[in-house]
Chains A and B, each alone.
Chain A
Amino acid sequence: MKEILPDLKKWQKAGRRIAVARVVDVDGSGPRLPGAAMAVNEDGEVTGSVSGGCVEGAVVMEALDIIDSRDRRMVTFGYSDDEAFAVGLTCGGTIHLFIEPLDW
């Protein structure tokens, strides 16, 4: 989360609503370790990353939903044979993200 702090503060100052997604757990082969973070503001601007670019698009959609609903939840991305067309990680791992509004 460290590296996205400057952008978070800039957005906060500009009065933007923000959602932060943090990698809390990784199963198998995952490109980023727990603690990796990205954030999205209500305008759809993005900072940081939680994978090698595999799931960031889907995270933006979840984050925008969370900005609206003020909900907070765990979201898991991974690949399995059953959901070959679902959003997954090309490296074959599974990442567990916690996404929440920056209201704390």
Chain B
Amino acid sequence: MTDSDETPIFDRLDAAIAVEAPVALATITEGPGVGAKLLFQPGEPVVGTLGDPDLDRVVTRDIEGELASGRTGVRHYGVHGEANETAVAIFIESFAPPPQMLIFGAVDFTAALARVGKVLGYRVTVCDAREVFATRARFPMADELVVDWPNRLLDQVGGGLGARDVVCVLTHDPKFDVPAITSALETGVGYIGVMGSRRTHDDRTKRLVEAGVTPEGLARLRSPIGLDLGARTPEETAISIVAEIIALRTGRTAPALKDTEGPIHR
């Protein structure tokens, strides 16, 4: 709200998003001081003001919780931050870091899935222990390329995986699959999809049971990976995988809208 060309809050927001740091922006949308802003970044002093020190203090407290849970929406306050009053409407927009897609196995399907993962906003990591396959030339679209055993990568990053993140095991080689899956099951990752034919699936299930995976663990696996779209090409298969990821998140069974009733956006 300055007369100059400077946009200090926007610049800080842009800089935080560029390095994938969590950041949240509060904007007064209704009430006194419309347009006033406060930018919150964990561990940093807040930037901007909503025009009242008490309101700033209360919103700074609330915005931290909103950002932690990735919520975006409107909250109401009194002009000095009073709860149960509605004089001021504040839009709090959380910019959580992108969710992670870890793809294990540098196979033909990997590049297509990595591309589709990028389209959906994932930070994509491709991991394969075989140096000749896991090359930058084959996977230029990946944010990160790791030449190592998937279970060793999970030992490092598994603790940070949560409900929004996904693991896709495309190796369909039991030597790599079994340790990768057992490691993935120890994390809080929201989706674990495992590629393979019905026969590969049956054989792998046997090996997983031998490795000590419980029925609850097996039930968590989406194996064979993907929705039954009749996909054949790597690109079609990638769509069937991400369609399953979306359906799992929303709790839908993924029939055609033509065959269902009720509002489309729920």
Indicate if the CB atoms of B7 and A98 lie closer than 8 Å: no
Residue of A nearest to B2 (CB): A103
User: What class of interface size applies to chain A in its complex with B?
Assistant: 20 to 34
**Inter-chain CB contacts under 8 Å: number:** 64
Given A5-B14, A35-B93, A102-B7, does the pair A91, B264 have CB atoms closer than 8 Å? yes
B204 within 8 A of A: no
Query: Closest CB-CB distance, B13 to chain A, in whole Å?
Result: 8
Indicate if the CB atoms of B35 and A24 lie closer than 8 Å: no
| Chain A neighbourhood of B264, CB < 8 A | 29, 91
Partner of A73, one of B17, B34, B263: B34
DSSP class of A's interface residues: helix, strand, loop or mixed? loop
User: What class of interface size applies to chain B in its complex with A?
Assistant: 20 to 34
Query: Closest CB-CB distance, B98 to chain A, in whole Å?
Result: 9
Indicate if the CB atoms of B1 and A104 lie closer than 8 Å: yes
Query: Closest CB-CB distance, A79 to chain B, in whole Å?
Result: 14
Query: Closest CB-CB distance, A28 to chain B, in whole Å?
Result: 8
Given A24-B29, A103-B7, does the pair A98, B14 have CB atoms closer than 8 Å? no
Query: Closest CB-CB distance, B77 to chain A, in whole Å?
Result: 15
* Residues 1 to 59 of chain B near chain A (Cβ within 8 Å): 1-2, 5, 7-10, 14, 17, 27, 29-30, 34-35, 37, 48
B191 within 8 A of A: no
| Chain A neighbourhood of B74, CB < 8 A | 24-25, 34
Indicate if the CB atoms of B30 and A74 lie closer than 8 Å: yes
B72 within 8 A of A: yes
- Whole-angstrom distance between the alpha carbons of A25 and B91 in the complex? 9
| Chain A neighbourhood of B35, CB < 8 A | 72, 100, 104
Indicate if the CB atoms of B10 and A22 lie closer than 8 Å: no
A88 within 8 A of B: no
Indicate if the CB atoms of A1 and B27 lie closer than 8 Å: no
Query: Closest CB-CB distance, B125 to chain A, in whole Å?
Result: 20
| Chain B neighbourhood of A15, CB < 8 A | 5
Query: Closest CB-CB distance, A60 to chain B, in whole Å?
Result: 20
B252 within 8 A of A: no
- Whole-angstrom distance between the alpha carbons of A45 and B207 in the complex? 57
Query: Closest CB-CB distance, A96 to chain B, in whole Å?
Result: 8
- Whole-angstrom distance between the alpha carbons of A50 and B265 in the complex? 15
| Chain B neighbourhood of A92, CB < 8 A | 263
| Chain A neighbourhood of B122, CB < 8 A | none
A12 within 8 A of B: yes
| Chain B neighbourhood of A2, CB < 8 A | 17, 95
Most chain B beta-carbon neighbours within 10 Å: one of A28, A72, A93: A72
| Chain A neighbourhood of B37, CB < 8 A | 104
Given A73-B34, A74-B30, A98-B27, does the pair A5, B9 have CB atoms closer than 8 Å? no
Query: Closest CB-CB distance, B164 to chain A, in whole Å?
Result: 14
Partner of B265, one of A8, A22, A93: A93
